[in-house]
Amino acid sequence: MDDTLGNRNVKLALQREGRLSRNSTELLETVGLEFDSYRQKLFAACRNFDLELLFVRDDDIPEYVADGVADLGIVGRNLVHEYGRPVRELLPLHFGYCSLVVAVPNESPAQTVQDLASTRVATSYPNSARNYFDTLGIPVQIIPISGSVELTPTLGVAQGIVELTATGSTLRLNDLREVATIYTSEAILMANEDSLRDETKRKTIDRLCIRFKAAIDARKFKYVMMNAPRSALEQLETVTPGLKSPTILDLADPNLVAIHAAVEAETFWDVIERLRELGATEILVTPIESMIL
């Protein structure tokens, strides 16, 4: 493995600019890593962790990790699928959600991917598209396009497209509709297999994964503190079970208790409404920075 960029520090490749760039650097900062980051900078060493950062094009990250130029990479799972490089996924990072879809013009008679047989399909993901249609046994001509794939049906280049979409808004703006989803994707942390076998680097990678997982798990919960009537305690414990059980504290008023609990973010507002119905007051809510489970 090439260690010319520094020493035995672990090297992490991440997107220099693009849809994953901000979330990636924010995650690193959230877990306490200190480094200089600005668009002109291609390399940065963390001041408080055995980690060096490489800011590169996202398309290059799977190759860098597979070849050992970088030990780790943060990239969309879609690029791992597309390039098929031998890397190991360590952790889903729960941002950068999107889907690779098959789409056709609104006026197209095609309703399913089978209806695209013997047509031209434009895409910036030719390997993924070809594998998909070959697996289904649907003969299509794949037209590789580096950009503005959504325009190709209007220009007569193709009858359908395979493209990445997060919300579907770009498809709708270009009068396209989805007929199939090939796969869903999100940002992941991936690793070079040789780096995982290196005892020194593996320890650093494991330490980093613990931090990432703690930050990711923390996003799923909010910490709630409240005062509540002791008479409703049994019902309140059912509404706010916490991770294992809520923390119950006696107050000076024997009729009241203080309750501290972690509440799932997805159901947070429903829980708050139920707590108010049961008499909870002075409800304080705070985000959780990290959670070691």
* Tens-place pLDDT, residues 139-182: 999 999 988 899 999 999 999 999 999 988 999 999 999 999 99
Same domain as 204, residue 125: no
Identify whether 174 is part of a domain.
yes
Same domain as 233, residue 156: no
Same domain as 102, residue 90: no
Which domain covers residue 133, as residue numbers? Answer: 98-185
The tens digit of pLDDT for each residue in 36-95 reads: 877 677 899 999 999 999 999 999 999 999 999 999 999 999 999 999 999 999 999 999
Same domain as 197, residue 91: yes
Tally of structural domains, the chain: 3
**Which CATH number covers residue 102?**
3.40.190.10
Beta pairing partners, 163: 101
pLDDT bin (cut points 50, 70, 90) of residue 250 is: very high
Which range (16-20, 58-62, 136-140, 255-259) has the least confidence? 16-20
Identify whether 1 is part of a domain.
no
Global confidence as pTM = 0.84
